[in-house]
Structure 1
Amino acid sequence: MSEQHSNDSSQQSAEEAVSRPVSNTVSRLEEEGEIGADYLEELLDIADLGGDIDIDIDHGRASIAVVASEEGDERELADLVGRDGEVLESVQELTRLAVQARTGNRSRLMLDINGYRADRRVELTKVAQEAVTKVLTSGEAVSLEPMNPFERKVCHDVVAAAGLVSESEGAEPHRYVVVLPADENDEQAVDKADVNDAADDSASEQA
């Protein structure tokens, strides 16, 4: 009886030990999301822009989406996306810095505005799939257009899912993905920064 109780206690302790880090991680990411949302809400107020802020946890990082709340907001929020998402990248980095200033820890928070990243992910998935088809057909490497870390990460994931390999080459802001024939590498050659940022890492790390 006592032995059974001891075994049950040990199992419970082990389960608690496993669940504690997961719980702590979720709490930390939720905190990042709340801090980031507060910063963005203040930014929207200063810029006199309308929009709703949604907080989530996606692929092990805090995720914030700013979406139009009223008709006409999309056009205004487009200014926070900018050409090719350049302004969005800057706003994301500022939001990460705001989180870091409060928590003392570097943030990998991912920000989307007006659904730009979601739409871009769909586009890039198609681009990467077409590149995979070309590589399989020709047996030669295919280079994609220069992309930011978030965009490169999307392409790396698509290539890996297809069973091929890819790597990042060049220097920012002209760094790009090269899709390689499977026999050129035994495993996917993805820079650590591409993996960590993305979402992207977005994705401010140098990939």
Structure 2
Amino acid sequence: MNNVIEIKAMSKEQAITRALKRMEATPEQIVKVVEKQKSRSFIFGLFEKEGIYEIEISKEIVKKEEEKVQHTQGEEKREVPKKKEVKEHRENHKEKTHTEHKKEQPVVESVDNSKVVEAKAKELLEYIGLNLRVDVNKIHERTYLVNLYGEDNGIIIGKKGKTLNSFEYLLNSLLKDYRIEVDVEGFKEKRNETLRELGKKMAEKALKSNKAVRLNPMPPRERKVIHEIVNKYPELDTFSEGRDPKRYIVIKRKK
């Protein structure tokens, strides 16, 4: 009688690989694979749910494979090369590989992936139902600025830029190989001025009260603005606590 097991996986190939590893079997032992429940992905593959596959594995082939392995091992024993020959072969192979690698070392070029970033930003905007134009500029290696324009600019900004921060965070999550900054018609420069004023106000509060002051959660770019302002006060210390996207700044007197 054959073995029948259920495997959770995102694809049929992944299910077979997991089954073979669990049962210590070979691909020749697979008799049948049945997809009982399809895998699913949500929000452009950001969240995924594995499917369920029923896999039947033959026991009969196991014996044949064991006999084949034993036979092969016997052949190998009769044809084991001398230690000197093995050593010379390894040294020659190592020298050849090193020379080829040196000759064929690729030239690294700077690639502009603005179109990739633009396509993903448009895809995300379409998903949340906002009508905005996308303009992408490369700042430097793997860093891009996404500018948004249009009738829904107020919606994407949100209260104090919170919606914009969330959009930027999600876009960076979808494009993990890049660093993406998102702005809406120069909003961030205006926001930076507001943050500078907030930094001064909170610094003064920490000095007067002699107590630690905790600010609301902010993205890394906004926290940097606050740190720069508070660092101008020699009596104060500033640091961040928590994890993104809920990481926040603490301002307090130095000991």
> Shorter-chain TM-score: what band?
0.5 to 0.7
C-alpha distance in 2, partners of 1:84/1:143? 20
Residues paired across the two proteins, number: 145
Q: What is the percentage of aligned positions where both structures have the same residue?
A: 22
Q: What secondary structure does 1:49 align onto? A: coil
Q: What secondary structure does 1:165 align onto? A: strand
**Equivalences for residues 47-196 of structure 1 within 5 A:** 47=129, 49-57=131-139, 61-68=143-150, 73=151, 76-100=152-176, 105=177, 107-136=178-207, 138=208, 140-150=210-220, 151-163=222-234, 164-169=236-241, 175-181=247-253, 183-184=254-255
Q: Cα gap change, 1:84/1:57 in structure 2, threshold over 3 Å: closer, same or farther? A: same
Higher relative contact order (CA 8 A, sep 6+): 1
Q: What secondary structure does 2:131 align onto? A: coil
C-alpha distance in 1, partners of 2:219/2:126? 29
Q: Cα gap change, 1:120/1:96 in structure 2, threshold over 3 Å: closer, same or farther? A: same
The code of the aligned residue for 2:171 comes to: T
Higher strand share: 2
| TM-score, normalised by the number of residues in structure 2 | 0.45
Query: Unpaired runs of 5+ in structure 2?
Result: 1-107
Bigger-Rg structure (1/2) = 2
Q: Cα gap change, 1:121/1:59 in structure 2, threshold over 3 Å: closer, same or farther? A: farther
C-alpha distance in 1, partners of 2:216/2:122? 32
| TM-score, normalised by the number of residues in structure 1 | 0.53
* Residue 38 of structure 1 pairs with residue 119 of structure 2: yes
1:67, distance to aligned residue in structure 2 (A): 2.8
For 2:33, the equivalent position in structure 1 comes to none
C-alpha distance in 1, partners of 2:180/2:212? 31
C-alpha distance in 2, partners of 1:48/1:168? 33
Q: What secondary structure does 2:231 align onto? A: helix
Q: Considering only aligned residues, what root-mean-square deviation do their CA atoms show, in Å? A: 3.5
Higher helix share: 1
Query: Unpaired runs of 5+ in structure 1?
Result: 1-22, 185-207
C-alpha distance in 2, partners of 1:59/1:158? 28
Contact kept, 8 Å, 1:80 with 1:87, in 2: the verdict is yes
C-alpha distance in 2, partners of 1:80/1:167? 29
